[in-house]
Amino acid sequence: MKLHLKFDFNAICRKVLNEKLLEHNIKHKIVGFGEVKLLEKVSADRLERFSNDLTAYSIEIVENQKSILVQKIKDTITDMVFNNDTPTNLKASAYLSDTLGHSYGYLSNLFSEVTYTSIENFIILQKIEYTKQLIINENLNLTEIAFKLNYSSVAHLSTQFKNTTGITPSAFQRIITKRRELKSQTN
């Protein structure tokens, strides 16, 4: 038997962080996605034990200032792509600059220096992941998805999808449909 799940990355991460912080008796406030304010002094030993517990969930504490800002860039992009409250006509460069309080040129150079890829490529990867989720979970057509993700056309979405995954979104939809049909036949 297979289960198809829909989940919210932000909510899961917040829940895991909150549970682990409580488990370690660390007084805290979750400030934003990927950011926790400690409300008390925490010993290095306790912080290390907490950090070790987080690694089981592929969560790590970032200490380098450049890495912190790059993580904020990634979090902001993820929120921008996956969050329906972000205005669809807003340019990513303006959104990142306004949200993070740095020029886009600085953010772009820093991101490339630390990750060896561009902000634009990271945005494309996030959009393609979201496209896959929308195809699987929301039953939206490609025109609706292209509009939702602020693509200029379905052709533009299709080109980026194929360049990233190796197949067209239509082929991906057919695969998902076929898997659902096979699943319903076996049940």
For 106-145, how does the pLDDT look when each residue is reduced to its tens digit (9 = 90+)? Answer: 999 999 998 999 999 999 999 999 999 999 888 788 999 9
Q: Which two tokens stand for residue 148?
A: 């939702």
**DSSP structure class, residue 132:** H
**Could you tell me the residue ranges of all domains in the chain?**
7-61, 65-187
Other C-beta atoms closer than 10 Å to the C-beta of 73 total 22
Provide mean pLDDT across the span 67-93.
Answer: 82
Give the residue carrying structure tokens 């039953």: 139
Query: In the predicted model, what is the mean pLDDT of residues 153-160?
Result: 94
| pLDDT (tens digit per residue) in 52-67 | 888 888 888 877 788 8
Phi, psi of 30 (to 5 degrees): -80, 110
What does pTM read for this prediction?
0.68
Q: Which CATH architecture has domain 65-187?
A: Orthogonal Bundle (1.10)
Query: What pLDDT does 125 receive?
Result: 95
d(CA 81, CA 14): 18
- pLDDT for the residue 89: 65
CA distances from 162 to 47, 54, 78, 122, 167 (A): 43, 35, 21, 16, 5
